[in-house]
Structure 1
Amino acid sequence: MSAPSPRPKTTAPRVHTLANGVRVVCDPMPGLQTVALSVVAGRGARSEDAARSGWSHLLEHMVFKGAGGRSARGVVEAIEAEGGHINAATGYERTSYQVRALKHGLDLGSAVIADLVLRPHMDPDDLAREKQVVGQEIAEAADAPDDLVFELAQSAAFEGHSLGRSILGTPDSIATATPETLSAWRGALYSPDSLVVSAAGAVEEAQVLALAERDYGDAKAAAPPPEDEPAAFHGGQRPTPKRLEQANLVLLLPAVGTLHPDYFALRLLAEILGGGMASRLFQEAREKRGLAYAIDAYCETYDDTGVLGVFAGCAAGDAAELVRVAAGEIAGMTTAVDEAELARAKAQLKGSMFMAREQPLSRAEQAAGHVLMFGRVLEPEELAAEVDAVVAADLVRLTETILAQRRSVVAVLGPKASMKAAPAFEKALFG
């Protein structure tokens, strides 16, 4: 998706930049009594080398053990005493800290998040315990089939690249972190140039700017991690027998990134394939053939690359037939969709985007993402125009480009009988 040209007049929130590079955006929503504050760093697990795999996620855990003079309990009690909630999330290219609170809780929420991001305690005993907790999280993910199958697919898609490693890391990689090395990693990951302070809901721009200056104005720049290596879709099969009642399948194909002009075409392609109950995969695989209870298509995008994916759960004996059906529906996208189907997909996509904008936290997070990608916040009308500009020929061209690479990932987790699905998908799609 390329950034649309700036307009002379805009209703989108303005972006302000502090002297040290921290960017600030405020998006008031009249009539609300609550506020959402999201502080987003434009770096995450993708910035890690193999030796530091999982450190960004471990760091996110560690800052909640105490920061800025508050204990771990003191952090959450301070927010909850104001009727608020605090959370955080680590992704491949973003790390986000969020507070939802009553409108008078913005001052405290900003101070607490700033302490987490800039002044965590990093106690050695806390780190030792948190490594155990993350180790349990890694083990839990390995025991959850619908988590593990996605990890298997991701590792095949981007083998040898940080995007192909689990965000959680491994017990061995997180074991090497010390308070000192993790603190240095914090400085690199959360340096001022990568931070966006974004507020939405019952907020005023002057207040948000004053709090951002107070809480982040003195943040010092640190040496950033090395530039992210370009990512390329590798592909491969990951048939993994496991004693389960059902087969879990993830099918991936190489696609475009968030900044590519075909970004919205990719979103619509996934919507038509498996975005809802009227989608092609749901109707063909579930309604007509009864091959799967759950099946959907999706896209996952990063700055420079992405994937088109299908997830399904089915009986082991149906797995091979199910992937053949999926291959047929994907190949069928090389024929232009009719106007009614395309219009329905556009309505669904715009509906999901605009419904998210009615939630303050989603709105704050979306604004921060826009700032990190484009340097400004895009208006809803701009987003709608990008969706509406996609025509049927764009979907045909994108599908042909995807299939021309003749690369795919098939991750299968389940009974041995389902392992036949791995070669069946590639044969059905590529011959």
Structure 2
Amino acid sequence: MIRSDRLPNGLRVITEHIPHAISASAGLWILRGSRDEPAEWSGVTHFVEHLLFKGTEKRTALDISREIESVGGALNAFTGKEFTCVHAKVLHHHVSVALELLADIFLHAVIPEEEVERERQVILQEIRTVEDSPEDLIHELFLSSYWRGHALGRSTLGTAETVGILDRTSLLSYARLLHDPRRVLLAVAGNVNHDEILEFAQSKLGLPCTASEDVPLEKPVPHRGLHLHLKELEQAHICLGTLGYNYSHPRRYAFHVLNTLLGGGMSSRLFQEVREKRGLAYSVYSFQASYVDAGLLGVYVGTSKEAVPEVVRLLLENLDRLRREDVTSEELRIAKEQLKGNLLLSTESTGSRMSKLAMNEIYFGRQVDVADAIREIDSVTGQDVRETAGELFRAEFLSLSVLGDVEGDRLADISLSL
């Protein structure tokens, strides 16, 4: 059973009672992410997220770790493009411990000066880890060129330069912006009591907070192009991407099916064509990202530098085939069963169900029942997939990024056309 309430200050409380669940998962979702940052403060949300765990007015960092681990729980956080989440998972009878910790680190983090400098070094190492991981790096490079000049094209981590200039005063100032209750929701899933969760929120999260100014979102514009990033590597890493749908788009289910057919598993077209039939890659897959006002669909391949032209040709051919030809009934069936299976299996996790509560509220303003989602997936036809491919797989939306020790001549004959 799902219930929701809104406190007088605007903060939303959403719970799902799961009687058989041993665990309970709780998350404070703050509707501020990296796309809300000014360019000169890129990475500030992620920096603040790290510092939330470094001590509060009544708990040290060690106290926080000991308190959650003493009940067998886990406490963590992540920063996304459009939101930040601090979350915990515990045995259901310890949910009050999780909630108390979440509220304390969110509202009462002190951000000590010495921790700012120490955590700055941790984040700089995190940035270098991405730079040393070609598969991670090519995704960042692709986004930065595809959504050039837009916040969605910037890394949530920021850069060494922007992270380097953020001081404690700046971080405290930004942390206070996160406290706007209109942009916060508490989601809890498990064997929990909604009224008790609501009472806790009223007691610990109902304090009046200064509302931040709403800044209109700037919609990103895709940039077509071919971008070569030279780096001495054993492999060449490729990202080819095109326009996608926003999170609540009416054709989102056809979009999911299209992505699954293209490169969502071992039976997908790209896995079969690039890896199984030709042995040109170990890793090949498609991916999608959807936001409140934009989306993209991309393909990643790691291959030899000699094979780059052939691999790109195969990728473009497969995009074009999905525009021009109907998918087989068997392909469509498998893709839909894969999506439905993944969705249903996720319901076994209270963490997944907690996230689903929040994401539905953020992007739809209502809860989307699993049974309704299953019906929507089942209703997708081959014609829906072909029409979606025709709308998205267009030359004017295509962008290609290549990372590796690849000579420019190898890309000379590549044409981003369909």
Per the normalisation by structure 1, the TM-score is 0.93
Which structure 1 residue ranges, 5 or more long, are not aligned?
A: 1-10
2:360: which partner in 1? 370
Say if 2:6 is the partner of 1:17.
yes
1:388: which partner in 2? 378
Spell out, residue by residue over 1:96-153, the C-alpha distance to the aligned partner (whole angstroms, 9 max, x if none).
Answer: 1110111222111111111121111021221122112111111221111111111100
1:240: which partner in 2? 229
1:32: which partner in 2? 21
**Cα gap change, 1:180 to 1:424, in 2 (>3 Å):** same
Distance apart, 1:225 and its partner CA: 5.7
User: Does the aligned pair in 2 maintain the 1:163–1:231 contact within 8 Å?
Assistant: yes
Instruction: Tell me which of 243, 246, 253 is aligned to 2:242.
Output: 253
> More displaced, 87-96 or 402-411?
402-411
2:417: which partner in 1? 430
2:284: which partner in 1? 295
Distance apart, 1:424 and its partner CA: 5.3
Structure 1 segments, 4+ long, off by >6 Å, are none
Distance apart, 1:228 and its partner CA: 2.1
1:317: which partner in 2? 306
Say if 2:141 is the partner of 1:139.
no
Distance apart, 1:69 and its partner CA: 1.3
**Cα gap change, 1:420 to 1:61, in 2 (>3 Å):** farther
Distance apart, 1:423 and its partner CA: 5.5
Q: Which amino acid aligns with 1:274?
A: G
2:184: which partner in 1? 195
Spell out, residue by residue over 1:24-79, the C-alpha distance to the aligned partner (whole angstroms, 9 max, x if none).
Answer: 11112222221111111122001011111000000001111112411111111110
2:60: which partner in 1? 71
Question: Which secondary structure does the structure 2 equivalent of 1:134 belong to?
Answer: helix
1:228: which partner in 2? 217
Q: Which amino acid aligns with 1:371?
A: E
> More displaced, 116-125 or 89-98?
116-125
User: Quick one: distance in 2 between partners of 1:56 and 1:48?
Assistant: 8
Distance apart, 1:236 and its partner CA: 2.5
User: Does the aligned pair in 2 maintain the 1:253–1:407 contact within 8 Å?
Assistant: yes
Distance apart, 1:420 and its partner CA: 5.8
Question: Which secondary structure does the structure 1 equivalent of 2:393 belong to?
Answer: helix
1:379: which partner in 2? 369
Instruction: Tell me which of 320, 337, 341 is aligned to 1:351.
Output: 341
User: Does the aligned pair in 2 maintain the 1:34–1:202 contact within 8 Å?
Assistant: yes
1:91: which partner in 2? 80
1:413: which partner in 2? 403
User: Quick one: distance in 2 between partners of 1:38 and 1:98?
Assistant: 4
User: Does the aligned pair in 1 maintain the 2:395–2:417 contact within 8 Å?
Assistant: no
User: Quick one: distance in 2 between partners of 1:148 and 1:184?
Assistant: 30
User: Quick one: distance in 2 between partners of 1:357 and 1:18?
Assistant: 28
Spell out, residue by residue over 1:343-371, the C-alpha distance to the aligned partner (whole angstroms, 9 max, x if none).
Answer: 21111111111211211001101111111
User: Quick one: distance in 2 between partners of 1:117 and 1:405?
Assistant: 45
**Cα gap change, 1:128 to 1:416, in 2 (>3 Å):** same
Distance apart, 1:421 and its partner CA: 6.5
> More displaced, 374-383 or 160-169?
374-383
Instruction: Tell me which of 185, 189, 204 is aligned to 2:193.
Output: 204
Distance apart, 1:405 and its partner CA: 5.3
Question: Which secondary structure does the structure 2 equivalent of 1:115 belong to?
Answer: helix
2:36: which partner in 1? 47
User: Does the aligned pair in 2 maintain the 1:47–1:162 contact within 8 Å?
Assistant: yes
1:160: which partner in 2? 149
Q: Which amino acid aligns with 2:370?
A: P
2:331: which partner in 1? 341
Distance apart, 1:252 and its partner CA: 0.8
User: Does the aligned pair in 2 maintain the 1:189–1:224 contact within 8 Å?
Assistant: no
**Cα gap change, 1:224 to 1:135, in 2 (>3 Å):** farther
Q: Which amino acid aligns with 2:228?
A: P
1:81: which partner in 2? 70
Question: Which secondary structure does the structure 1 equivalent of 2:211 belong to?
Answer: coil
**Cα gap change, 1:221 to 1:383, in 2 (>3 Å):** farther
Question: Which secondary structure does the structure 2 equivalent of 1:67 belong to?
Answer: coil
Instruction: Tell me which of 251, 255, 266 is aligned to 1:262.
Output: 251
User: Quick one: distance in 1 between partners of 2:312 and 2:395?
Assistant: 19
Question: Which secondary structure does the structure 2 equivalent of 1:331 belong to?
Answer: helix
Question: Which secondary structure does the structure 1 equivalent of 2:25 belong to?
Answer: strand
Question: Which secondary structure does the structure 2 equivalent of 1:196 belong to?
Answer: strand
User: Quick one: distance in 1 between partners of 2:212 and 2:91?
Assistant: 37
User: Does the aligned pair in 1 maintain the 2:236–2:406 contact within 8 Å?
Assistant: no
Q: How does 1:168-179 map to 2 (within 5 A)?
A: 168-179=157-168
User: Does the aligned pair in 2 maintain the 1:320–1:420 contact within 8 Å?
Assistant: no
Question: Which secondary structure does the structure 1 equivalent of 2:40 belong to?
Answer: helix
Distance apart, 1:174 and its partner CA: 2.1
- Percent identity over the alignment is 33
User: Quick one: distance in 2 between partners of 1:400 and 1:299?
Assistant: 17
User: Quick one: distance in 2 between partners of 1:368 and 1:421?
Assistant: 46
User: Quick one: distance in 1 between partners of 2:270 and 2:291?
Assistant: 25
User: Quick one: distance in 2 between partners of 1:75 and 1:386?
Assistant: 43
User: Quick one: distance in 1 between partners of 2:373 and 2:350?
Assistant: 18
User: Does the aligned pair in 1 maintain the 2:72–2:90 contact within 8 Å?
Assistant: yes
Per the normalisation by structure 2, the TM-score is 0.96
User: Does the aligned pair in 2 maintain the 1:240–1:413 contact within 8 Å?
Assistant: yes
Number of residue pairs matched by the alignment:
417
Q: Which amino acid aligns with 1:115?
A: D
Distance apart, 1:319 and its partner CA: 1.6
**Cα gap change, 1:389 to 1:424, in 2 (>3 Å):** farther
**Cα gap change, 1:374 to 1:407, in 2 (>3 Å):** closer
C-alpha RMSD of the superposition: 1.7
1:123: which partner in 2? 112
User: Quick one: distance in 2 between partners of 1:58 and 1:14?
Assistant: 33
**Cα gap change, 1:239 to 1:77, in 2 (>3 Å):** same
Q: Which amino acid aligns with 1:362?
A: S
